[in-house]
Amino acid sequence: MNKVKIGMLLSLALMLGLTSCGEKEVNTKLVLNEVLIENSSNFQDDYGVHSAWIEIFNKSYTSADLAGYLLKMSNQPGDTATYFIPKGDVLTVVRPRQHSLFWADGQPNRGTFHTNFVMNGATATWVGLYDSGKKLVDQVVIPASALKADQSYARVSDAATEWEIKGASTNNYVTPSTNNKTLEGNAKMEKFQNHDSVGIGMAITAMSVVFTGLILLYICFRAIGKASVSVSRKRAMKTKDVTSMEEAKEKKLGEAPGEVFAAIALALHEHNDMHDVEDTVLTITRVKRSYSPWSSKIYTLRETPKK
């Protein structure tokens, strides 16, 4: 009895541990990625209005659902506005390594992605993201008067730990619903283009890889074929009680006589002769059937009854 109780307690502890680990993994998928407070000529919402927005990023390689999450904002200590992200909207599912944008316009009746609060950049603004279990997932504090119009407070790159102000220069621009760090070029591609501008090296390399792969496949299949023949020969030797390869060659073990091939060829020939050669002429044979009132079209229910 004591062993049963101990086993149940251990199983319960293991389940609790797995559950807690799973919750921690879910909570770390979504992070606050970028916040813009004063929007004068930046990105427009689905109503064509320039409003403040909050960007959330899914840093995992699996989808995450924001339904049931809480977005909280506070400009003053003790005064916190809470927006409950409603359930039932398929658009709340954030795909792997993608973004979701929420408009802080104080108009929740405009849709799922419109919050019930607005932000004020004159004071320090705290934004927090809570999961459905009301546990803090991520938070950020935008310093007071740090952002000018059309400037955002964002991570240096998606899900990075460092934050910076974007929009102050042409090289560091605001990126709603896209990657925070946009590369203008690829250094490796540019270096390769300098060394091989025509592409001859790339063509030779690609052809070498293809032909090398084909040669390796030929060697592998040849080795597998030889191995299978050797195994089948050993099995045949075992069934015939043959102990040496010389004896197997003398008895022509594994070799079919000519009569077998002749019989197979004759059977194939006879099988082909069973079918005539069809041509492109379509023949239609008229079939005569005896008259019956049950199959006649003149006796139908649609005929007008006689008076």
Q: Is 41 in the same domain as 162? A: yes
Structure tokens at 150: 């059309």
162 & 130 share domain: yes
Cα of first residue to Cα of last residue in the chain, in angstroms, is 94
- What is the number of other CB atoms lying within 10 angstroms of the CB of residue 15? 10
Look at residue 283 and tell me whether its pLDDT is greater than 70.
no
Residues 169 and 35 in one domain: yes
User: For residue 3, is pLDDT > 70?
Assistant: no
The residue with greater pLDDT, 166 or 252, is 166
Give 133 or 236, the one with higher predicted confidence.
133
Residue of 159, 163, 186 lying closest to 61 (CA atoms): 159
179-216 pLDDT, tens digit each:
988 777 677 777 877 888 888 888 898 999 999 999 99
4 has a pLDDT exceeding 70: no
Give the residue-averaged pLDDT of 65-78.
91
> Is residue 58 domain-resident?
yes
Question: Are 142 and 211 in a shared domain?
Answer: no
pLDDT value at residue 193:
79
At residue 304, the pLDDT reads: 62
Residue 218 reports pLDDT greater than 50 = yes
Q: How many domains does the chain have?
A: 3
Residue 21, pLDDT above cutoff 60: no
In a shared domain, residues 83 and 175? yes
pLDDT category, 15, cuts 50, 70, 90? low
pLDDT for the residue numbered 237: 77
Burial readout 100-136 (b: 16 or more C-beta within 10 A, e: otherwise): bbbbbbbbbebebbbbbbbbebeebbbbbbbbbeeee
Is the pLDDT at 286 greater than 90, yes or no?
Answer: no
pLDDT in tens, 104-126: 999 999 999 999 999 988 899 99
Do 209 and 248 fall into the same domain? Answer: no
Whether residues 171 and 86 share a domain: the answer is yes
Residues 126-172 have pLDDT tens digits of 999 999 889 999 999 999 989 999 999 999 999 999 999 998 887 78
With respect to residue 285, please indicate whether it lies within any of the assigned structural domains. Answer: no
Please check whether residue 160 lies inside any domain of the structure. yes
What pLDDT, on a 0 to 100 scale, did the predictor assign at position 150?
A: 92
> Which residue range forms the structural domain that includes residue 96?
29-183
Residue 201 lies in a domain: yes
Q: Is the pLDDT of residue 81 over 90?
A: yes
Domain membership flag for residue 95: yes
The verdict on 116 and 199 lying in the same domain is no
Whether residue 227 is predicted with pLDDT greater than 80 in this model: the reply is yes
Query: Has residue 301 got a pLDDT over 50?
Result: yes
Same domain for 35 and 109? yes
Q: 161 lies in a domain?
A: yes
pLDDT in tens, 35-55: 999 999 989 999 999 999 999
- Give yes or no: residues 75 and 198 share one domain: no
Q: 58 and 194, same structural domain?
A: no
Three-class SS string for the chain? CHHHHHHHHHHHHHHHHHHHHHHHHHHCCEEEEEEECCCCCCCCCCCCCCCEEEEEEECCCCCEECCCCEEEEEEECCEEEEEECCCCCHHHEECCCCEEEEEEECCHHHCCCECCCECCCCCCEEEEEECCCCCEEEEEEECCCCCCCCCEEEECCCCCCCEEEECCCCCCCCCCCCCCCCCCCCHHHHHHHHHCCCCHHHHHHHHHHHHHHHHHHHHHHHHHHHHHHHHHHHHHHHHCCCCCHHHHHHCCCCCCCHHHHHHHHHHHHHHHHCCCCCCCCCCCCCCCCCCCCCCCCCCCCCCCCCC
Q: Is residue 300 part of a domain?
A: no
159 or 235, which is more confident: 159
Q: Are residues 250 and 107 in the same domain?
A: no
Q: What is the pLDDT of residue 292?
A: 64
Quick one: pLDDT at residue 267? 85
Does residue 306 carry a pLDDT above 60? yes
Q: Is the pLDDT of residue 22 over 60?
A: no
Which tokens belong to 159? 């899900």
Q: Are 247 and 236 in contact (CB under 8 A)?
A: no
Token pair listed for 208: 């070498």
**Which residue, of 225, 257, 290, is where some domain finishes?**
225
Report yes or no on 267 lying in a domain: yes
